[in-house]
Amino acid sequence: MRIKRKFKAQHFNMIEFLIALDAIFSMSPYILWETYSNYKVFDVIKMFIEIIICLLYFKNHQKRIYKSAIVMCITFLFMYTYYVLDAYPGTLFVGLGTIMKAIIIVIFILQPREGKGNIFRIFSVLFAFSLLPGIVYCVLNILHITLPVGYIESVSEIKQANAQHYLHYFGAVFRENIYYSPIFKQVCAIYDEPGIVGTISAFILFANNYDIKKNKHLILVILGGILSMSFAFYVISLVAFLLMLISRKKIKRKYFFVGVFFAIILIFAFNNPIFQQFVFQRFKLVNLINNNRTSSQFDLLYNDFIATGFSDGSIFFGLGNGNPIYHSVDVSSYKVIIYNLGLVGFLLIIGWYLGWGLRYSGGSRLSKIYLFIFMLSIYQRPWIIYLYYIVILFGGIENLKSIEHISNDSRLIQNVAIEKEGYN
């Protein structure tokens, strides 16, 4: 009996690891790009991992599933179906990859809350080590140490049209075109842009409560976030840190040191041309007002869509068909959701994440701040119906709640010990 129970526990640990690994794959690393390899070996590996997850789950699933998890799955599938059918109208056949994507997300939702936290922690470690080669090559580039390098075309037709390609080293890629400094290459790691590295790094740091002492892998996450020169990394980290400080009655030493760390970076950055080019230039008021996550071409399309959308009804369900892509417009803004899916689709997506995020947060103060920052991030990164984003939100919330729970327990033990000493 003990052996059988242990065997089941190993299966559940394996499921957590495989879901975390599949979340990394859902971030579209370059090994999955058609421009990297025509043999699709890693696509097969990804599909194989997802099949194993399904087999292990259905063989060893919990007998008891909470009603809230079932309702969460049903509402997700409704939102996901709307997204697939409305974004690509006239598509009756849905690919196997699209179906597997939904199944794995459902399996994640059906995991116990502790399991979601475990998956997030494994994902954090995998993500951190995926940054390591990129960090090393970035430092070597700063030191003017050259290594053999290859080239990979972008998987995006828009980026190809803009003459953007990637420098390819073993285990990392770097964006290359006329807009980026030859002196410094932003860390993309194995992903397609620095923004994804910066955004995910900021959330992982927050969800681990900036506790580097207990999570050594966060050192890589911090380095990756800084060297990505991602505007999102600095903004999310700064806003999250300030909100955490405001919400606390007492400031712990670690938050003081984090604040000093940010201050040192800012002092260094003010006189640094690289920071000026990649970060501070985007803080300009004109850029924030004009929303540099869009383009003038898309703004014309969007404004025309809003002007005529109420009269022809397209404002409610959008134009679908991935229109910005077909119009060769490179956009990363919440406006894309409205343009493609309409107000109905926008409210479905925002409502699902916000509603279930609040339910998961419960009475956790840190979790609510985390959710608030997550919702704000949609402004500049709207593509959130992916496994890794769902792991980051709900797994991150569970991790924060467990940290708060441990902190409250230790505080309670200390208070009891003090009372005993006073009594004696």
pLDDT digits (tens, 9 = 90+) for 343-373: 999 999 999 999 999 999 988 888 999 999 9
Cα separation, 201 vs 240, in Å, equals 13
User: Residue 29 is which amino acid?
Assistant: P
Which of 15, 28, 196, 213 shows the shortest CA–CA distance to 114?
Answer: 15
* Cβ proximity of 400 and 211 under 8 Å: no
Given CA atoms 371, 376, 380, 384 in this order, what sign does their dihedral have? positive
* Residue 411 confidence (pLDDT) above 70: no
* Cβ proximity of 311 and 336 under 8 Å: no
pLDDT band at 417 (very low <50, low <70, confident <90, very high): very low
Half-sphere exposure of 2 (CA within 13 A, CB side): 0
Tell me the chain's radius of gyration from C-alpha atoms.
23
Percentage of residues in the chain having pLDDT higher than 90: 38
Q: What is the pTM of this model?
A: 0.85
* Residue 127 confidence (pLDDT) above 90: yes
pLDDT band at 9 (very low <50, low <70, confident <90, very high): very low
User: Any idea which of 106-115, 220-229, 398-407 has the lowest mean pLDDT?
Assistant: 398-407
Phi/psi zone of residue 111: left (φ > 0), alpha (ψ -120 to 50 degrees), beta? beta
The helices-and-strands tally (H runs, E runs) of the chain is 19, 3
Q: pLDDT tens digits, residue range 255-309?
A: 566 666 666 666 555 556 666 556 655 555 444 445 556 677 778 888 888 888 8
Q: Mean per-residue pLDDT for 193-213?
A: 92
Q: Reduced to 3 states, what is the DSSP secondary structure of residue 172? A: strand
Angle between helix 335-361 and 67-87 (nearest 10): 180
pLDDT band at 213 (very low <50, low <70, confident <90, very high): confident
Q: List the 150-153 sheet strands across, edge first.
A: 150-153, 165-169, 172-176
Other Cβ atoms less than 10 A from the Cβ of 377: the count is 21
Which of 210, 227, 229 shows the shortest CA–CA distance to 218?
Answer: 210
Cα separation, 70 vs 78, in Å, equals 12
User: Any idea which of 93-102, 240-249, 395-404 has the lowest mean pLDDT?
Assistant: 240-249
Q: Would you give the DSSP letter of residue 393?
A: I
The overall longest dimension of the chain from CA atoms, in Å, is 79
**269-282 core/surface letters (b: 16 or more CB in 10 A; e: else):** beeeeebebbbeee
- How much is the pLDDT for 258? 63
Q: pLDDT tens digits, residue range 70-80?
A: 999 999 999 99
**What is the per-residue DSSP string for 193-229?**
-HHHHHHHHHHHHHHTTT-TTT-TTHHHHHHHHHHTT
Phi/psi zone of residue 210: left (φ > 0), alpha (ψ -120 to 50 degrees), beta? left
Cα separation, 210 vs 243, in Å, equals 14
* Residue 254 confidence (pLDDT) above 80: no
- Can you read off the two tokens belonging to residue 107? 């399996």
* Residue 156 confidence (pLDDT) above 80: no
Cα separation, 345 vs 83, in Å, equals 7
Which of 202, 134, 213, 206 shows the shortest CA–CA distance to 166?
Answer: 134
User: Any idea which of 195-199, 283-287, 340-344 has the lowest mean pLDDT?
Assistant: 283-287
Higher pLDDT, 157 or 339: 339
